[in-house]
Amino acid sequence: MDSVTGVLEDFESQLRGTPDQTVTELFRELECCEDELCQLLLGPVTSAPSDVSYLSEQQSIFLKNLVNHEVDASLVEHGVVLTPDGTTVSLSPLLAGIAAGLQRSHKETLHATPLIANSTNSSVVELPLTLEPLFATTIAMDLGKAFLLFHTNRSQVALGPDGCWDSISAPQKFTLMGAPSTLPDAFINGAMDGLILGTYLAEKADPPSNLSVLLKDYYGGEGLGGESAMQSNFRRKNFAALVSEEKLRMQVEDSLLLLRRLNESNPLFDGLTNEELRSVANQAVEEFTALYVECPAIIPRCMWGARPYRGTPAQLQLPLGFVYIHHTSTPAKPCRSFPSCAADMRSMQRFHQDFRGWDDIGYSYVAGGDGYIYQGRGWHWVGAHTRSYNTKGYGISFIGDYMEALPDAQSMELVKNNFIKCAVRGSKLQANYTIHGHRQMGNTLCPGDRLFKEIQTWKGFAERCFTDKGVRRCI
């Protein structure tokens, strides 16, 4: 993303225009939005043909490659960039959302009037009354198409997966970790960001004067408008605040109806009734919401630089019945950025492997202070977090020492309200799960006095009673 914003800075310094003009000229040079659907949704985004170029040949090739999203046969995903928060985004839905937001800010939203004439039969195509270009160009259209392909057995999977970069310091190649859908995680991230940034541009009275500033503020900067909560780290929470499940369902349904009107001869739509399209939209929104809005984003091992597991991991027998809450104690300070959280993960893994002689980092998952959950041993491998109980539950640790203070509220919310519910929904954790603090299971102060007091208020927490030197105790 730093490379993208660098090119945009050069572009803007030569153009010296408004964000609208920047998008218009950028789309012209990159030959974006030339297909019928994009023109229908966004209108004449591009300017008249011109011989003037504000990009060097190298910059033009670089950005043209990035605005063309695809996954090749070797599972390499093209058209994506690594962001400072450790996640990966597709550039095409991001730019589309920005364009749609700028358009909406000038009250140029298109209504259901004849816009494009079909060259073969002179019939007209109209936008559904309730379809909003900002939704259609970012998430709704592609989400509907992904589930339509899955519904008609033209795709193995409907959503995902995530992937791994060949290098974090100098990323060049991003390879998916499983069978691809038409909507991998990076595209979903870009679509969410496009909708968030587009909404911000549409509603903000004084948005940034340059797109490069907007992207820097959002990705690794101080946040939109200087609000730290309005950063890419919190895209899922901010998306949920902007988009209700019902609103998204309506937008996906309208997008599918529009697609059918534009592609009446496409066999993909053969025999599909309105009711069946509505069912596809319902399934799409339900599964998308569960996986990408209600569940937290998890930074995979490859992204924080995990060493290989030593030996052969033992498999857990799912679903498990317990969650054991820990604090790391060391590192004692919470991490609040991807580089520092990733460094803490590597440090803990080195300590656990090299000094304690364990096969891997002990925890199942770790909550950073940057808005993300970090994968330790994961859902399926037996951990080394709670002696004598590692096969019975997941060990979830908060980075920091919480004897006297609490983790950030957003970190606790992520574990309590998102991660645990997601584990139940995914059949990793039993619905009647029990939460214990580490100190209830052995002789330790973990997870710290203050955090232990907090988790006693959480759903699923239970006291544990035992006999110590003839005296029955419950904690």
Asked whether the predicted pLDDT for residue 106 surpasses 90, the reply is: no
Mean pLDDT, the chain, whole residue set: 92
pLDDT of residue 122: 36
Asked whether the predicted pLDDT for residue 125 surpasses 80, the reply is: no
If you compute the radius of gyration of the chain from its CA atoms, what whole number of angstroms results?
A: 24
pLDDT tens digits for range 204-227: 878 888 999 999 999 989 999 999
pLDDT of residue 102: 92
Cα-based torsion angle of the residue sequence 100, 44, 32, 73 in order, rounded to the nearest 10 degrees? 80
Cα separation, 363 vs 370, whole angstroms: 18
pLDDT tens digits for range 266-287: 999 998 999 999 999 999 999 9
Q: Out of 128-137, 138-147, 156-165, 358-367, which region has the weakest mean confidence (pLDDT)?
A: 128-137
pLDDT tens digits for range 297-311: 999 999 999 999 999
Whose structure tokens read 């019902």? Answer: 246
- Candidates 3.40.50.1820, 3.30.310.50, 3.40.80.10, 3.40.50.150; correct CATH number of 320-474? 3.40.80.10
More confident residue, 466 or 161: 161
Q: Report the pLDDT averaged over residues 116-143.
A: 73
CA atoms within 13 A on the CB side of 106: 12
Tokens of 174: 């991003």
Q: What percent of the chain stands above pLDDT 70?
A: 94
Q: Out of 48-57, 88-97, 231-240, 336-345, which region has the weakest mean confidence (pLDDT)?
A: 48-57
- The model's confidence at residue 135, banded by pLDDT at 50, 70 and 90, is very high
Answer whether 400's CB lies under 8 Å from 334's CB.
Answer: yes
Asked whether the predicted pLDDT for residue 444 surpasses 70, the reply is: yes
Cα separation, 33 vs 384, whole angstroms: 52
SS3 state at 161: coil
Q: Report the pLDDT averaged over residues 403-407.
A: 98
240 backbone φψ class: left, alpha, beta (φ>0; ψ -120 to 50) = alpha
pLDDT of residue 111: 41
pLDDT of residue 121: 39
Tokens of 423: 């584990």
Environment class of 426 (CB within 10 Å of its CB; exposed 0-12, middle 13-18, buried 19+): middle
Q: Where are the domains of the chain?
A: 1-294, 320-474
Q: Report the pLDDT averaged over residues 238-257.
A: 97
Q: Report the pLDDT averaged over residues 365-377.
A: 97
| Residues in contact with 236: Cβ distance below 8 Å, sequence separation at least 6, in sequence order | 192, 292, 293, 296, 297
Asked whether the predicted pLDDT for residue 182 surpasses 70, the reply is: yes
pLDDT of residue 205: 78
Q: Report the pLDDT averaged over residues 53-59.
A: 93
Length of the chain: 475
pLDDT of residue 75: 98
Cα separation, 292 vs 52, whole angstroms: 42
**Residue 199 phi, psi (nearest 5):** -65, -40
pLDDT of residue 32: 85
Longest dimension (CA), the chain: 90
Cα separation, 313 vs 317, whole angstroms: 13
Q: Report the pLDDT averaged over residues 101-126.
A: 52
Asked whether the predicted pLDDT for residue 463 surpasses 80, the reply is: yes
341-380 burial: b if 16+ Cβ within 10 Å, else e: bbebbeebbeebbeeeebbbbbbbbbbbbbbbbbbbbbbe
pLDDT of residue 96: 95
